[in-house]
Amino acid sequence: MPRSGEYTTQRRNVMQVCMFLVLLAVIGLAALVDRWIAGVGRLAMGPEQTSGPLRFSLPANWAITPRSDLDAPIIALAEETAQLTPSGPRRSLKVCRQLLRRMMAPIEYLQNSGLLSDVYGEGDKSDLTVDNSTLAGVPAVRIFGEVQYQSGLNVWNETETVICAVFPGRQAVTLWLSDRDEADTAADDVLLNQVAATVKIQSESGASDVTR
């Protein structure tokens, strides 16, 4: 008979099984938390949109402006009308496409086309955050910055995030997300990544030149 304080083999085995079950539970809980965090801020995407060889999707249930009302190079505009601010919809997403005369780096295209100034104004741009990225598998530039707007007595700040790539075939594609909630940039990153994941360019034969 074992003395008090000593573990029998059976008791030791039971404790090991319990510890193993606890470990499995912790791992399972961690996986669920990771999936929940990954899903935060994700939106359902609408049907595929087309513009020439460009294919992409916009957030479902956002208000879509008719393409005939848009000025080039903007070929799509979606607005989050479910969340309104005094200055309008909280978030808006523009998709731009332009056929270039020659291949060039995305940042060069943004500067030469005037799109960079359209997004961030004519002033000093030294405070912009510029990073390398990819869009549908090709090199892209990702730019983030804050811009102040004024309409009458109403003044507000917006965060502006741009992803731009120049695809084979000289197709320049730009995603431009504006958000009047400066504090929620994480959700903006999730949304922009969702839209970017739907982008693809098709060749004249109908096959995708590049896909994510």
CATH number assigned to the domain comprising residue 116: 3.40.1000.10
Alpha carbons 97 and 195: distance in angstroms, whole number: 15
Same domain, 57 and 125: yes
| Sign of the alpha-carbon torsion through 42, 47, 49, 55 | positive
Question: Residue 138 has what pLDDT?
Answer: 96
Per-residue pLDDT reduced to its tens digit, 30-84? 544 344 334 445 789 999 999 999 999 999 989 999 999 999 999 999 999 876 6
The answer on pLDDT for 144 being more than 50 is yes
The answer on pLDDT for 88 being more than 70 is no
Same domain, 114 and 175: yes
Q: CB under 8 Å to 47, separation ≥6 — which residues?
A: 57
Percentage of residues in the chain with pLDDT exceeding 90?
Answer: 58
Q: Say which residue the tokens 């590049």 belong to.
A: 210
Cα dihedral 164→168→170→176 (10° resolution) = -20
CB atoms within 10 A of CB 175: 24
What mean pLDDT, rounded, does the chain reach? 84
Same domain, 83 and 161: yes
Question: Residue 28 has what pLDDT?
Answer: 58
Q: CB under 8 Å to 129, separation ≥6 — which residues?
A: 143, 144, 145
Q: Say which residue the tokens 């120049």 belong to.
A: 166
Question: Residue 193 has what pLDDT?
Answer: 95
Tell me the pTM. 0.75
Same domain, 75 and 52: yes
Same domain, 67 and 17: no
Q: Which amino acid is at 88?
A: G
Question: Residue 84 has what pLDDT?
Answer: 61
Same domain, 84 and 120: yes
> What domain range is 9 assigned to?
1-39
The number of distinct structural domains making up the chain is: 2
Same domain, 71 and 99: yes
